[in-house]
Amino acid sequence: MWVVKVGGSLSESDDLSSWLDILAELGGGRVVIVPGGGPFADQVRRSQARWGFDDAVAHYMALLAMEQYGRMLSGMRPEFKCAASLAEIRQARSDGLVPVWLPSQLAVRAQDIPASWDMTSDSLAAWLANSLAAEHLILLKSVQPAESLVSSAALAECGLVDPLFPVFTSHARYEIRLMGKDQYPLMRVALLTGEPGGTRLGTIAAERVARMQ
C-alpha cells in the first residue's frame, strides 16, 4: 500500500492534474491520498495571528482545511472517494477506488496527535501510514532536495517537513520518499514497478544503525 501526501502547495500548480491522472489510473486499491492544507490552512494561520485563538482551535481548523483540499481532490476524479475512518479507507480500497483521507474524525480522537502547528499533514500522513501498515509513504512537495538521500531530521530543521515528522517516522517500517511537483513520471514508474523514486528520507532509527556500523 502507498500513502501519498499531496502537498497543498500543488493546489495552484498545473502539475496537479498530472499527479491526479496517474493516481487515478494506477492507484485504485493501492493508494491512499492524504491532502495537505495549502491555502486553506494558510487562512487558519492568518486568522489565528489576527485574532489570537489558541492552538487547539487552530489545530481543528487546520484539520478541516485539509478536508477542504481533500474534498476538492476527490471532486476532481471519479476514481477518488473521501474516507474519514480506517474502515472507510479499507472499503474504498476494496472497491478498487483511491480513498482520500479526511483526518478530523481520527485525528481529534487520537491521543498521540498533539493539537499543535508542529503536527502538520506531513506527520499526519506518517501517522496514517503507521496505522495502515503501509509499505511506502510518498510526500509530494513543490520543492525537491538535490540529494538522493537526506535525513528526516535535516528536512525538519530546514522546514521542509514539520518538527514532529522525524518522531512519527522514527521506527517506520515503510520506505519514505519525497518527490517534487514535476516528478510525476517517477510516480507512474513507481506504481508500475513497485520501485519508488525521488529523494529517500532516512529515519532516526536508520541513522542510529548507520552510526553503529
* Residue 198: CATH number of its domain: 3.40.1160.10
pLDDT higher than threshold 50 for residue 105: yes
Number of domains in the chain: 1
Q: Which residue, 199, 196, 200, is CA-closest to 26?
A: 196
CB 185: neighbour CB atoms within 10 A?
Answer: 12
Helix (H) or strand (E) holding 26: helix 15-26
The predicted pLDDT at position 204 comes to 56
Q: How many whole angstroms separate alpha carbon 202 and alpha carbon 75?
A: 34
Query: Rounded mean pLDDT of 122-149?
Result: 94
pLDDT higher than threshold 90 for residue 75: yes
> Which range of residues forms the domain containing residue 117?
2-212
Strands 136-140 and 80-83: unpaired
Q: What does the mean pLDDT of the chain come to?
A: 93
The DSSP output letter for 207 is H
Higher pLDDT, 209 or 134: 134
Instruction: Indicate the pTM of the whole model.
Output: 0.94
